[in-house]
């Protein structure tokens, strides 16, 4: 028996769908608080020293946290080539905006303290704000557009063709529902950044972070509830008509897809997936409670639970769809017909089983070494070694 036949093609597809979700959640859990701190920076720090304290809570770890972003992009490219082709070509203007914002972060860290000028440093602080807030917002907008459906179709030879206009490749993505999804993402990560600052700082920075984080959590819960209600009554879902072939060739055109009903019909078919939104709401509620009470470690953990539940709820609600098409529903990409080959998925799984535990172990070691609070004495007493 060939080794890769030990795991069926159907199971490998589900495993890689789940792993893609794990990588995206991992990115939100780690780099999410980096973006949240960036979005909070001008508001939690009123002096140069206070802002340096906030920056130094994420300065040593943000590069490592972005590994999850790279892994997620690589997984999409290798495991789901059609998804990579459609999303990275159709959304390239939006993705360019995200990358431009993300580039501001390392540049801001590098150049902020190069001049002893209040105007200079204030300008870079606002650049770091954009580098945190803009990606957090746009990632949510992207998720909202995936739920709405994307205007693309596949030709007979499976070449993806994006049917949106030049306008639609950026401004056209700002549908009201997508903006609500962006608000969920931004407020959720601001709450997460506040929970991180509560753990890593003290004094005025910590107090302000707790106050802003509390409001952000309330906004996140309200926007998440509004998005769910909107999905229930105002947005059509997608469904596969007829028998589903789960281990066939990766050709979306072999399936008939209808646009009907609601995405939330999935909860009637698979009631157990309601655990995901329950985790989202419970995590937000407990994180807000922790912020108000001044708790530290537990607040960050509850915030992580909220993020896990909210992101997981999207994937579980849409399953088996990955990227639905509004132009030609039968071109929609699903778990069953848009993956790489059986052998490719198996080899990738073996490599993941080897290297992912190493990444997790190294990440855990880094956070253990860097455990503790960043104080004003730390940043004023070691000016050459900190941001």
Q: Give 261-314 pLDDT, tens digit per residue.
A: 889 999 999 999 999 999 999 999 999 999 999 899 999 999 999 999 999 999
- Residue 63, burial from CB neighbour count under 10 angstroms (0-12, 13-18, 19+): middle
Apex 288 CA angle, 286 and 290, nearest 5:
70
Q: What is the three-state SS of 103-167?
A: HHHHHHHHHHHHCCCHHHHHHHHHHHHHHHHHHHHHHHHHHHHHHHCECEEECCCCCEEECCCCC
Looking at the domain assignment, is residue 133 inside a domain? yes
Looking at the domain assignment, is residue 3 inside a domain? no
Number of domains in the chain: 1
Looking at the domain assignment, is residue 1 inside a domain? no
Domain that holds residue 309: 9-381
- Residue 73 predicted with pLDDT over 90: no
Considering 55-69, 103-117, 343-357, the range whose residues carry the highest mean pLDDT is 343-357
Looking at the domain assignment, is residue 165 inside a domain? yes
Looking at the domain assignment, is residue 2 inside a domain? no
Q: Is residue 342 a contact partner of residue 248, using CB atoms and an 8 Å limit?
A: no
Considering 213-222, 240-249, 340-349, the range whose residues carry the highest mean pLDDT is 213-222
Structure confidence by residue, pLDDT tens digits, 173-198: 788 999 999 999 999 999 999 999 99
Tell me, yes or no, if the pTM score tops 0.85.
Answer: yes
Residue 110: name the closest of 95, 94, 136, 131 by CA: 131
Looking at the domain assignment, is residue 266 inside a domain? yes
Looking at the domain assignment, is residue 73 inside a domain? yes
3: its two tokens: 């080794």
Cα–Cα distance, 197 to 44 (Å, whole number): 9
Cα–Cα distance, 23 to 39 (Å, whole number): 23
């Amino acid at each position: 028996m060939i080794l890769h036949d030990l795991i069926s093609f159907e199971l490998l597809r589900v495993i890689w769908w789940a792993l893609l979700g794990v990588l995206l959640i991992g990115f939100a859990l780690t780099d999410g608080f980096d973006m949240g701190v960036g979005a909070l920076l001008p508001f939690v720090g009123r002096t140069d020293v206070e802002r340096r304290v906030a920056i130094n809570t994420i300065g040593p770890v943000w590069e490592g946290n972005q590994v999850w972003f790279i892994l997620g992009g690589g997984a999409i490219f290798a495991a789901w080539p059609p998804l990579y082709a459609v999303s990275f070509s159709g959304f390239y203007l939006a993705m360019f905006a995200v990358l431009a914002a993300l580039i501001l972060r390392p540049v801001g860290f590098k150049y902020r303290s190069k001049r002893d000028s209040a105007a200079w440093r204030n300008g870079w602080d606002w650049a770091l704000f954009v580098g945190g807030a803009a990606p957090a917002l746009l990632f949510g907008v992207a998720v909202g557009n995936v739920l709405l459906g994307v205007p693309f179709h596949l030709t007979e030879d499976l070449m993806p063709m994006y049917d949106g206009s030049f306008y639609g490749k950026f401004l056209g993505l700002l549908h009201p529902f997508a903006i609500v999804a962006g608000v969920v993402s931004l407020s959720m990560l601001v709450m997460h950044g506040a929970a991180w600052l509560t753990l890593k700082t003290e004094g005025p920075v910590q107090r302000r972070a707790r106050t802003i984080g509390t409001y952000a959590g309330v906004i996140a819960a309200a926007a998440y509830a509004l998005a769910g209600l909107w999905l229930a009554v105002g947005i059509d879902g997608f469904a596969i008509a007829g028998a589903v072939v789960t281990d066939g060739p990766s050709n979306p055109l072999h399936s008939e897809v209808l646009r009907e009903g609601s995405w939330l019909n999935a909860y009637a078919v698979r009631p157990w997936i309601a655990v995901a939104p329950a985790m989202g709401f419970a995590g937000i509620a407990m994180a807000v409670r922790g912020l108000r009470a001044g708790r530290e470690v537990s607040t960050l953990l509850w915030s992580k639970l909220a993020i896990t539940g909210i992101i997981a709820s999207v994937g579980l609600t849409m399953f088996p769809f990955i990227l639905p098409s509004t132009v030609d529903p039968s071109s929609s990409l699903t778990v069953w017909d848009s993956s790489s080959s059986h052998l490719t998925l198996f080899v990738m799984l073996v490599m993941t089983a080897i290297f992912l535990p190493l990444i997790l172990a190294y990440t855990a070691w880094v956070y253990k070494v860097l455990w503790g609070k960043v104080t004003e004495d730390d940043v004023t007493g070691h000016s050459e070694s900190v941001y």
